[in-house]
Chain A
Amino acid sequence: MSDAAIPYTVAIRPDTGLNNVKLGIWLFLSSEVMLFGSLFAGYILLRTGNPNWGAGTELVNVPLAALNTIVLITSSVTMVMSWVAAMERNLAKLRLFMGTTVGLGAVFMVIKAIEYHEKLAHGAPPSYSTFIACYFTFTGLHALHVLGGMCLNFYFGFPGAKMMKTNPQQFANRVETAGLFWHFVDLVWIFLFPVLYLLNFNTPAGH
């Protein structure tokens, strides 16, 4: 294995004015925007072309989804406070905020599981209707992102936090990068919430 260090993880590249990590995460987030954009495009097409769209819209749980929105927004604040802690090189504070962020992510997943159980208990699996299929696809993909973010944040909050002592600058960059992903996940939910839960105007057309 080569011992060559990866260049520009902390130092600024003269040509881009950024370190490679920052440019890399924004390029990745751009690809994520296109991924969710394609799903939203499919949703619009199915929504406008389906006269029986209403089937299953009555099953969404708006209060639980609103609670999940608040949980995720709060986790974004604790995430950004983790970055502040990394900048201050305060390990105890970092662990407190990262732990809270991961915990709030877990709360989000539990609430989501309750929602899924409600649908399935009502006899509404993804095959129930086009809307329910979209609901499970969107929220399932989003939940996978939440799970990925939780793993990342747990690593940087606990086993990976050792780097704060050896290379605090690079560690703060890593926490910021993990934060950018987490905020993106929050941002996606901000749009999923009205689209899936609030903008259902059709009366149920039956299964």
Chain B
Amino acid sequence: MEHIDATDQLDSHSQEELRKHVRTYMMVFGGLLVLTLATVGVKYMHLPVVPAILVALAIALIKGSLVACYFMHLISERKLILILMLATVFFFFGVLLGPTLTELNEINPLHH
């Protein structure tokens, strides 16, 4: 998808691009609604703990990616932004997992 910058002239070409954007947004919206219902549905399927966590987080990851890629235009963003976000994701997982992994011997396992 070609990124439209506000500095572009709003000619017939960019009007067509905007129409394409709107079609994409509507498709993403539909996908997000279906995935939200799927997330709630999985809750009532009473899956075992690990599959339930994996499925719920996988659906959340897909939904988050749709929002970031299409609504936030990350899919057509400049390389510098992509590098910045990759670095952010790296440090995010460092912050997320670091404390838990270093404390594994001290904490109790999940209680079912």
Which residues of A are in contact with B by a Cβ distance under 8 Å? 10-12, 16-18, 22-23, 26-27, 30, 33-34, 37-38, 40-42, 44-45, 47-51, 53-54, 62, 66, 69-70, 73-74, 76-77, 79-81, 84, 86-89, 168-173, 176, 179-180, 183-184, 186-187, 190-191, 193-194, 197-199, 201-202
Give the size category of B's interface with A.
35 or more
Interface contact B53-A199, CB-CB below 8 Å: yes
Instruction: Note all chain A residues with C-beta closer than 8 A to B111.
Output: 51, 53-54, 202
Q: Which of B1-53 contact A (CB under 8 A)?
A: 4-7, 10, 14-15, 18, 21-22, 25-26, 29, 32-33, 36, 39-40, 42-43, 49, 52-53
Q: What mask results when residues 47 to 73 of chain B are scored 1 for a CB within 8 Å of chain A, else 0?
A: 001001100110110011001100111
- 11 contacting pairs across A/B (C-beta < 8 A): A10-B6, A27-B84, A37-B92, A45-B103, A45-B107, A54-B111, A62-B43, A87-B18, A191-B60, A198-B56, A202-B112
Interface contact B7-A12, CB-CB below 8 Å: yes
A186 to B66, CA, bound (A): 11
Whether A88 touches B18, Cβ cut-off 8 Å, given contacts A23-B80, A169-B6, is yes
A34 to B98, CA, bound (A): 13
Interface contact A26-B84, CB-CB below 8 Å: yes
Interface contact A41-B112, CB-CB below 8 Å: no
Interface contact A80-B18, CB-CB below 8 Å: no
Whether A48 touches B108, Cβ cut-off 8 Å, given contacts A73-B32, A186-B67, A187-B68, is yes
Interface contact A194-B60, CB-CB below 8 Å: yes
Instruction: Note all chain B residues with C-beta closer than 8 A to A37.
Output: 91-92, 95-96
Q: What mask results when residues 100 to 112 of chain B are scored 1 for a CB within 8 Å of chain A, else 0?
A: 1001001111111
Interface contact B4-A87, CB-CB below 8 Å: yes
* Nearest neighbor of A175 in chain B, beta-carbon distance: B6
Instruction: Note all chain B residues with C-beta closer than 8 A to A187.
Output: 64, 67-68, 72
Interface contact B95-A34, CB-CB below 8 Å: yes
* Nearest neighbor of A21 in chain B, beta-carbon distance: B6
Contact of A87 among B10, B97, B106, B110 (CB under 8 A): B10
Instruction: Note all chain A residues with C-beta closer than 8 A to B63.
Output: 190
A170 to B109, CA, bound (A): 53
Q: Which of B78-104 contact A (CB under 8 A)?
A: 78-81, 84-85, 87-89, 91-92, 95-100, 103
Q: Which residue, A22, A191, A198, has most C-beta atoms of chain B within 10 A? A: A198
A169 to B10, CA, bound (A): 10
A202 to B110, CA, bound (A): 9
| Leading 10 A-B pairs by shortest Cβ distance | A49-B107, A172-B6, A194-B56, A30-B88, A37-B92, A37-B95, A198-B43, A169-B6, A183-B71, A77-B29
